Structure 1
Amino acid sequence: MFKVGKRDTEWWISLIIIAISPCMVFAQIGISSSPEDWKIHLTYNQKNNIYFWKGTAAVEKPLNNGIITLQNNFDINRIKTLYQDDKWKDRNQLHIQYRLPFNNNVASIITARSEYLSDLQSGFLNNITENSLNIQAPVTMHQNIAVTPLLGFKWDKRTDTPDKGLRHGIDVSVYETKIGEYTTEGYMNYMSENLNARHNNNHYIAASLHRTFHEGTADTLQYTYYRRRRDYYVSLAGNLETRKEVSQNVSNILTYNIFDRTDMRIKTEFLTGNVNISSAGVNDVIIKRLRKDRTNNIEITLNTLKGQHTARVHFNYENAQQRYTSTTPADRVFGAVPFDTPDNNSKKLALGLSADGVPFYSHRYSVQCFIEKFQYDTPSRNNYDDRDEFRVWFNGGYVYRINPGLSVTINALANLDHLVYIFRRRSADNNWNRIFQTGSLVEYQSPSGIKVTGNFSVLANYVDYDFDDEFVQVRSFVFRKFSMNQTVTLPVTHKGRFETHVQLDLEENGLLKWKQFVQNIIIERKILTGSIKYPYRMTPVLQLVPGVSTFIRTETHHQTQAVHELQKRLSKINDIGISIEIEYQTGPSSLVTFNAAKRFVKRGTVKENFQYVDLSVNWLFPPEADL
């Protein structure tokens, strides 16, 4: 059944550089202007039967002693159909804010927001109508404490159920504050919404304590606490589901200098949390699902610098636990029900090394590699996912700059992953996944402005199952790919230049016998793409960019049995396109662009042609006007 795969000699004929590539170009019109206090951006696109409208309008102006800001965003998507009503998806967001400072330490902010979403495309219950009005009063005390209370009203409609109610909250920030030899920082956020039957709230606390003992030695202790509740509808009848999350994280980072130009960083972290989801089931009995998480993590990093070489050694150990509980109306815990996620423990142990430097003048290297072991265990009797994984990864590169205009880069990558299932029931899935890749890049630029960039790469992916029966089903497979592309820029005059690009991809998929290192080719693909453009600046404000492109894809399917080939099926796609792009500078801050393309496609004996035109209108203004 297996045979050594051979490449056709015609694969290499296509290595001749041609200047034609497939192009799906879209037409685009943009207009810019620059008032000092407003910004407008409008975009229209069409791709086949899909239409897009997007826009932003924003203005910021002084009003009395304050500043008023208004911004509106809309996003409209239409799918045009022949036999049904068109499918629309509309989103509109309106934001109005007025900020009035009373003095350097006290201000007031009034914010109104409105959001509308109508989704007739996805089929999900995504429709939202939301309006809110908030009042905030930021206060700064002692230059390092900021307090911002909030009071507001919210009207929220999801599906067909409207809710309304008050919302309140507060933000407290404590910036760098010295306490003896320690520097502290803190942040607290609280937000609560009572919307009829729905109750949403957030609690977040973060604090850090930092001390520098002497140069190169410091210690930082951090603590975060997070609690969140969300009520949301799960049906048009108004049934609610409540999701509660709680998490705590304590970490410590110690850095110190071991000796000259060698530093060590040790980070320890402990995290706990749980997620509780409750909903009303049959006869309004509450059904609960609970997940508890616990994670311990330690990282040790050693950095050293010697001359023009740097090296880094990294060690990481992580131990994580997840525990799940679900209850039925009879208060029975389904620990062994198939659709329940099983309790699990996981451990990860990793060791990594990286280095880079300059061994010789005009030479540079970089190397990264790591070894990792991952272990996943479940105590459930009905779960057979327990497994061990062993991973090895390597990546290296070498750059040689021959002269100021010519450089050569060589790189290589290897990835080995061994997956072993502990239980016999899944041992047939044990496998080795091996990935190897190598390639090179050549970049050249002449004093006259000629630029040539060429690179190639070879990729091989071998997936070898430990237990394969060629008389039943062979699952081990191989994927190989050769890729080459080249780009050339050739100035013709001071107004125009040629830009060419060509890319060749050769791919094959097949069945594999790793021990004999033979394959049985199933699919072969040859993909050739290329393009040629001629940007020509007719005047200082007008540029034309005509272009031609092509795309050729050939795919061969082989059906074989033990000795001889039974059938070969061939599919081919030819694509030729022409494009035009126009750029017109109408003023110092105004630009108009137009881009369109026509493509002629042949799939087997079927011939088609497509036109692509995208239109957009843009007013882009200075960064200080951005909101």
Structure 2
Amino acid sequence: MTRLIKFLIILLLFPSLISAQIERDSLLYNTRIFSKKDLNNNFDKQLNTYTFSARLRHFYQDSKFFVGLNENFNSTIIRTTDKNIKDEQYLWLFGQYDLSNLLKIGFLLNNNLYSDDRRVAINKASVLNSSLFLKIKPLEKLDITPYGGFTSNDQIGEKDKGLLYGAEAGLDKLALGEFEVSSLLKYQNEDISPRKNTFRYFNVEAQSNIDENFGNTISAYYAQQRKDFYFAADQSTTDEFGILNNIQSRLESNYFLQDRIKFLPVNSPFSFDALAKVVWRDIERNTRFVSIKNPSSSAFDSQIQEFRLEFASTAEYKTDELNMALRFSFAEREEKHNPRKIEGLSNIIFNERETNEFQKNNTSKLAIISFTNFFKLSSKDNLLISLFHRKLVYDTPSNINYDDRDELLSIGRIQYERFFNPFFRAFINIEGSLNKIVYIFSERSSNNNIRRILKLGSGGTFSSGNLTSTNSAEVMANYTVFDYEELNPIYRSYAFRQFVVRDSTTLKISQKFKFFTTGYIKQSEQGDFKWSSFTSKPQRFINEVYLEPKFYFDNKSFVFGIGVRYFNLSTFNVLNGTEKQKISEYKSIGPVSEVAIELTDSLSFRTYGWYEFIESDNNHREMVTFNLKLNYRL
């Protein structure tokens, strides 16, 4: 009775202490978020893109005082005709003082900066939040944290200031009879007139282990977030309202309800898991100032409503010689789009927008069933069999939307593996898939096609004291056939075949020196195809070669590798089905190096990159690709 009264008091005081997948680290005013010490730097250069990122995490703690710092900085530079620079910075400073085990006070400072020199809708923004908080612990498992402060928000030149206030509450695995309840609540307002940002979050998870064989988990979730942002006003809106930037509000609400049961019999190889889930989502867009002098259908804001119903189950049977799993899932989804009517605008224009939005409405049903079976045939032989089937039904209620279609995908795979001795193992793998797409209406039926893919692969690994080598070869054939290619020459059936050989070998020369090489050869062919006679006429051939041999010096705390990187991509037209005519070639060769240094137990440094001499269609150029990482565990 006492537990029941305690549970009712918690629900009355904090009705949002009920939701799914709870983690204490989800609370913002929490020392766990700031209880790490490290410094990471990364520089990466690929093609014409340069990326730099840095992260610092540090904290200090004694018996009653805690202060923590988290900072992330990211910068991206893209060199094209015009140079583009984008910077992002996120800074968090947290402090807490323990007055007692039941009462704590502190502060949180947060500063976010964003800058992009491109002419995009929002290319500059900054947010500065500073708040004081009071953390109360009325129960051992319950934390309540009210907070308040100030916020300053700068977006595309518009600066708004105001109050920031809210509360957090967390319930951590409170035992109530047969249930163990965890929950999280967040409530926050940002009053930055003329804008307002809000956040509401509530979830709960109630877990019950009825006995040692059976468990049940019920989860619920609610989240609502409103974001107001500026965007450049068009000329008619500027003339009518005398504003430079308009305001648009986006309100997103999410609801979630789930029940999951697990049946795990003791001393039994059988287990069963089932889940049922209901999800709702609403998205509303509202523009503050709308001109009716030059009305158009785009002047109307929209609302999106989504509903999903999901079910999934898994049955497993595990023994020393057999591991079998059967999985099934079904999901039904409905999405609706509606315009928001604006007083003073023509009904004719509204009806036009309503028709356009109605055209986006859709429903879908997705069913998936899969089967996996792993046999341990003997101490040396393993067999894996897997089957997968998926069906999608996609419908649109609009008479002018012809995207209605059915899709089927089936995949089957068999892999046999044998350990011949302690040094060598080999495998053979065969896989086939069938994918069929059927559009219901004749307006899109020219896209109807069947895709058949067959793969056959084999390989092995040899490992001795000084030599380890992994090799594999695979052939793949893709036959895509369109149903009505005779009526529409744009869609033509084709065959795509590919052969790949891969190798990765390591040779240990001495205690500190080794040789490593990796590479592949890939040949691809594509051409017209006729399924009725199973004949093809190759049109295009691609030959691709990659090789990267390297010598390594490994002295535990210092690793240095140097070698050569080679890549060649040749493209050919195939004349008369047999004769190849080269139309392009891309060739790259150059030195590659890698350095990894453990300077101390806490400080590590790594670089990897290569310098390319590129030859492409009689053009010669040089390019550097480089990556650098510096990690310091404080």
What is the alpha-carbon distance in structure 2 between the residues aligned to residue 591 and residue 219 of structure 1?
46
Any conservation in 1 of the 2:337–2:357 contact (CA below 8 Å)?
Answer: no
What is the alpha-carbon distance in structure 2 between the residues aligned to residue 585 and residue 472 of structure 1?
62
> Does residue 526 of the first structure (1) align with residue 543 of the second (2)?
yes
Q: Which amino acid aligns with 1:417?
A: N
Any conservation in 1 of the 2:358–2:398 contact (CA below 8 Å)?
Answer: no
Shift, 1:585, TM fit: 5.5
Shift, 1:121, TM fit: 4.1
> What SS does the aligned partner of 2:102 have?
coil
What is the alpha-carbon distance in structure 2 between the residues aligned to residue 292 and residue 196 of structure 1?
29
> Does residue 61 of the first structure (1) align with residue 77 of the second (2)?
no
Q: Which amino acid aligns with 2:385?
A: V
Deviations 1:86-124 (A, max 9, x none): 432223333222221222232222111222221014744
Alignment match, 1:179: 176
The counterpart of 1:244, out of the listed 239, 251, 256, is: 251
Alignment match, 2:572: 556
Shift, 1:223, TM fit: 1.9
> Does residue 107 of the first structure (1) align with residue 115 of the second (2)?
no
> What SS does the aligned partner of 1:534 have?
strand
The counterpart of 1:386, out of the listed 382, 388, 404, is: 404
Any conservation in 2 of the 1:46–1:615 contact (CA below 8 Å)?
Answer: no
Any conservation in 1 of the 2:339–2:354 contact (CA below 8 Å)?
Answer: no
Shift in alpha-carbon separation, 1:193–1:444, aligned structure 2, 3 A: same
> Does residue 463 of the first structure (1) align with residue 480 of the second (2)?
yes
Alignment match, 1:256: 263
Deviations 1:451-492 (A, max 9, x none): 111011222222211111189445222222111111221222
Alignment match, 2:75: 76
What is the alpha-carbon distance in structure 2 between the residues aligned to residue 587 and residue 210 of structure 1?
45
The counterpart of 1:283, out of the listed 288, 292, 295, is: 292
Q: Which amino acid aligns with 1:345?
A: T
What is the alpha-carbon distance in structure 1 between the residues aligned to residue 534 and residue 354 of structure 2?
43
Q: Which amino acid aligns with 2:569?
A: R
Any conservation in 1 of the 2:331–2:365 contact (CA below 8 Å)?
Answer: yes
The 10-residue stretch of structure 1 (333-342 or 462-471) with the greater mean CA deviation from structure 2: 333-342
Q: Which amino acid aligns with 2:585?
A: K
Q: Which runs of 5+ in 2 are unaligned?
A: 1-34, 234-243
Q: Which amino acid aligns with 1:222?
A: S
Shift in alpha-carbon separation, 1:472–1:585, aligned structure 2, 3 A: closer
What is the alpha-carbon distance in structure 2 between the residues aligned to residue 402 and residue 441 of structure 1?
13
The counterpart of 2:330, out of the listed 317, 326, 329, is: 317
Deviations 1:186-238 (A, max 9, x none): 22221121111212212222223333333312333222222222222232632
Q: Which amino acid aligns with 1:620?
A: Y
What is the alpha-carbon distance in structure 1 between the residues aligned to residue 556 and residue 160 of structure 2?
59
Shift, 1:164, TM fit: 1.5
TM-score (norm 1): 0.84
> Does residue 480 of the first structure (1) align with residue 504 of the second (2)?
no
* Aligned-residue RMSD, C-alpha: 3.1
Shift in alpha-carbon separation, 1:402–1:71, aligned structure 2, 3 A: same
The counterpart of 1:267, out of the listed 248, 255, 275, is: 275
The alignment of Structure 1 onto Structure 2 pairs a total of residues equal to 579
Deviations 1:160-192 (A, max 9, x none): 211111121212222223333333332222112
Alignment match, 1:20: none
Deviations 1:113-158 (A, max 9, x none): 2222210147442311111102222222321111121212110111
Deviations 1:379-438 (A, max 9, x none): 211111111122212233332122222111222332211111111221111111222222
Q: Of the two structures, which has the highest relative contact order with CA contacts closer than 8 Å and spacing of 6 or more?
A: 1
The 10-residue stretch of structure 1 (279-288 or 156-165) with the greater mean CA deviation from structure 2: 279-288
> What SS does the aligned partner of 1:337 have?
helix
Q: Which amino acid aligns with 1:241?
A: Q
What is the alpha-carbon distance in structure 2 between the residues aligned to residue 240 and residue 77 of structure 1?
29
The counterpart of 1:513, out of the listed 518, 530, 535, is: 530
Deviations 1:540-563 (A, max 9, x none): 765542212322221102466xxx
Any conservation in 2 of the 1:100–1:107 contact (CA below 8 Å)?
Answer: yes
- Equivalent positions of 1:53-452 (< 5 A) are 53-62=52-61, 65-79=64-78, 86-121=83-118, 123-235=120-232, 237-256=244-263, 260-279=268-287, 280-283=289-292, 287-328=300-341, 329-330=345-346, 332-334=350-352, 337-338=355-356, 341-447=359-465, 449-452=466-469
Shift in alpha-carbon separation, 1:74–1:373, aligned structure 2, 3 A: closer
> What SS does the aligned partner of 2:533 have?
coil
What is the alpha-carbon distance in structure 2 between the residues aligned to residue 106 and residue 275 of structure 1?
39
Q: Which amino acid aligns with 1:422?
A: I
> What SS does the aligned partner of 2:245 have?
coil
